[in-house]
Structure 1
Amino acid sequence: MRQTVNNISMRPELGVVTMLTFIGLGLWDENDVSLKGLEAIREADVVYAEFYTSRLMGTTLEKMEALYGKPVKVLVREDVEQHPKDNVLKDALDKKVVFLTGGDAMVATTHVDLRLRAQKMGIDTAIIHGASISSAVCGATGLQNYRFGKSATIAFPYKNIISETPYDTIKMNKANGLHTLLFLDIDREKGYMTINRGVELLLAVEERRKEGVLTDALGVGIARAGSPAPCVKAAKLDELKALDFGAPLHIMVVPAELHFLEEEALQALAGLKT
């Protein structure tokens, strides 16, 4: 028998409240979590987190646990995507569980999949949103949010094969007058992809295909968004490749033709030279 009160699943026969709440932690450090999110973490029976889609570069697990007042179980990709019934979903059957992610809670499709699995098992879910890099990029650069098209991820080459999906995404978006947000790969062995490496991979595809998609194309790089000292720079891609953006996390944009206000913003905020 199950009752639902205020969207929280009740199991009277067990005398417990069950719930899986996804909480976005924001962009930089442990203090970016919302008050609502912090309250939910402190009230949870079990706290899980994953940092393979994104992570808070301005803090440590120890600082997070000190703020929360309880331990955090960090999961790797395989735990979440292949074996969630052995951890998160198993605990959420008879406990209040929170699942922490960098940025906003539902930007990554892996989190949507986990939520759907939970609901199929009769586990009620909720979301407490956090600041997302997708919107932070607009604030950091002055690029207008409604002018962004499909995004893509520049992945590390696999067996020396470079994915051409980001190039094709830029090509499609440019044809429609839209900007392209490019996420940069995070790999347990290879580390954090830089803007410089991302540009190199894009230009390598351009060199092979010779379609002119990136000829004289502008790029905008953003590093450490949400930190006290973010780095934002705009230049032609071949120039951007040589610039120093410092420590991760990095992300980049290949804009379409700029609106005059966007151009003015990039000159003021990202050092764009005309």
Structure 2
Amino acid sequence: MLFFIGLGLHGAKGIPLIGLDIAKKAEKVYLDVYTSPITKDEIDSLKDLIGNEIVRVGRDFIEDGLEIINQAKQKDVALIASGDPMVATTHLDLRLRAEKYGIKTHVIHNSSILCALPGETGLHAYNFGKTVTLMKSGLTPSSTVYEVIHENLIRGLHTIILLEYDYSTGFFLKPNEALKSLLNMERDFRQGIFDDETFVIVTSRIGSNSQLLHGGKIGSLIDKDYSEPPHAIIVPGKLHFTEIDALKTLLKIDEDQITDNSSKVKSLAVSMVKRYAMNTRKALSKAREKSEAEKKNFDDLFENIECYISDAERFLNMGKFELAILSIGYAEGLLDSLRFIKELEIEW
């Protein structure tokens, strides 16, 4: 049997009693050391608690999984991981593979950074959107990171950005470098998310005795020293008044530092439809002039095009972005059809 045991956020002392009992009885115990840093002292404390030998393993070992799976076919094997073991997709993949081999699995859940951050900051758990990892190595493209944050902000949701940590090399992405990276993304993608005035929260070592949370505008946080990992950054979206009160009370953030990041972010659909509607109206006006000069009557077609442009703007104001895009697409297509059938040369 294969057991997945969550260590939570408090080191060796965070292991649940039921997980401790399982680890003591397991014939083989592995400790995942790649998802989050764990000190040698904590590992030694865990060994003392369990009274069993612990084998430290990294990402490659778990992703390969063959040794664990083969052992779990014959005996009870435990894999201990910081936080909740099923937050890491590599652990889920290992569990699925084991089940497909007919190996029974059991998960002992625990607290993770994803559920701790709402509690530590006072931000409402149901106001968080998709989580993303920022990596200096480039395994997660900057466009993906930016897109996730943008989509969350469009919906008024908060974003947790986990910062890269590599146990094998000891590398961790410093919050300062991450904030600079976010500003660089803005220069590339220009959707109005990040500048020195953007409100963010930097969190460090949540659950430990040395945990720190700093909130404020990027310009005031970018040069601070955040010391050892793990780190995460929260980009808040639309804030409820109780969330603002929590940030002021729990994190001691001055109210003038707290801003609504979602208010300045425009939907890609909004900017696209507005631009296309303006360009299509200009092209339509030129087409009307040219058809009159060439004594060609396309009044009914032009009226339909005008209706589609108006529909696009109306749907946009209603928040029905897909219908808005479809409508402006129909308008452009009808106007362009005159060029395709060589009835009228359209100038865009």
Q: 2:164 aligns with which of 174, 177, 185?
A: 185
**Partners in 2 of 1:190 and 1:61 — Cα distance?**
16
Mapped to 2, the partners of 1:59 and 1:150 lie a distance apart of 34
Tell me, yes or no, if structure 1 residue 217 matches structure 2 residue 198.
Answer: yes
| Structure 2 residue aligned with 1:253 | 234
SS in 2 for 1:149: coil
* Higher share of residues assigned strand: 1
- Does residue 232 of the first structure (1) align with residue 232 of the second (2)? no
Match of 2:146 among 167, 188, 199: 167
Deviations 1:118-158 (CA, angstroms, capped at 9, x unpaired) = 00111000000111110110111111000000110001144
| 2-structure distance, mates of 1:207, 1:262 | 30
- Displacement of 1:176: 0.3
Q: Report deviation, 1:57.
A: 4.8
- The CA distance in 2 between the partners of 1:255 and 1:249, in whole Å, is 20
Structure 1 CA distance for aligned equivalents of residues 114 and 164 of structure 2: 15
Residue type at the aligned position of 1:264: D
Q: Is the 8 A contact 2:214 2:251 kept in 1?
A: yes
Task: Report the identity percentage.
Answer: 35
Deviation at 1:229, TM superposition (A): 3.1
Please name the residue that 2:77 is paired with.
Answer: 97
- Aligned counterparts of 1:58 and 1:241: Cα–Cα separation in 2: 30
In structure 2, what is the Cα distance between the partners aligned to 1:183 and 1:245? 14
Q: Report 1 or 2 for greater relative contact order, CA contacts < 8 Å, sequence distance ≥ 6.
A: 1
Q: 1:64 to 1:22 in 2, by over 3 A?
A: same
Q: In the comparison of the two structures, how many residue pairs are matched? A: 253
Quote the residue 2:333 is aligned against.
none
- Check conservation: 2:37, 2:229, Cα contact below 8 A: no
Q: What per-residue deviation string (whole Å, max 9, x for no partner) do you get for residues 190-233 of structure 1? A: 61222222111111111222221124321111111111231111
Amino acid paired to 2:220: E
Paired with 1:31 and 1:137, the residues of 2 have a C-alpha distance of: 20
**Aligned residue number for residue 111 of structure 1:** 91
Unpaired stretches in structure 1, ≥5 consecutive residues: 1-18
* SS of alignment partner, residue 38 of structure 2: coil
From 47, 54, 59, give the equivalent of 1:77. 59
**Offset of 1:249 from its aligned partner?**
1.3
1:1-274 pair list within 5 angstroms: 19-57=1-39, 59-82=41-64, 84-85=65-66, 87-158=67-138, 163-187=142-166, 188-189=168-169, 191-215=171-195, 216-273=197-254, 274=256
Give the aligned partner of residue 343 of structure 2: none
Query: Is the partner of 1:60 in helix, strand or coil?
Result: helix
Q: What SS is found at the alignment partner of 2:130?
A: coil
Does structure 2 retain, via aligned residues, the 8 Å contact 1:20–1:123?
Answer: yes
Deviates more, 1:71-80 or 1:56-65: 56-65
Q: Is the 8 A contact 1:28 1:56 kept in 2?
A: no
For residue 75 of structure 1, report the CA deviation from its aligned partner. 1.4
- Shift of the 58–173 alpha-carbon distance from structure 1 to 2, 3 Å rule, reads farther
Q: Secondary structure at the match of 2:232?
A: strand
Query: Contact 1:30–1:59 at 8 Å: present in 2 too?
Result: no
- Does the CA contact (< 8 Å) of 1:180 and 1:255 recur in 2? yes
- Check whether the contact 1:232–1:269 (CA below 8 A) recurs between aligned residues: no
TM-score (norm 1): 0.87
Q: CA RMSD in A?
A: 1.8
* Structure 2 residue runs without a partner (length 5+): 257-348
Normalising by the residue count of structure 2, what TM-score does the alignment of the two structures yield?
Answer: 0.69
CA contact (8 A) 1:25 1:100 kept: yes
Structure 2 CA distance, aligned partners of 1:51 and 1:133?
16
Cα distance in 2, alignment partners of residues 111 and 230 from structure 1: 26
Change in 2 beyond 3 A, CA 1:269/1:58: farther
Q: Residue 38 and residue 98 in structure 1: after superposition, are their counterparts in 2 closer, same or farther (change >3 A)?
A: same
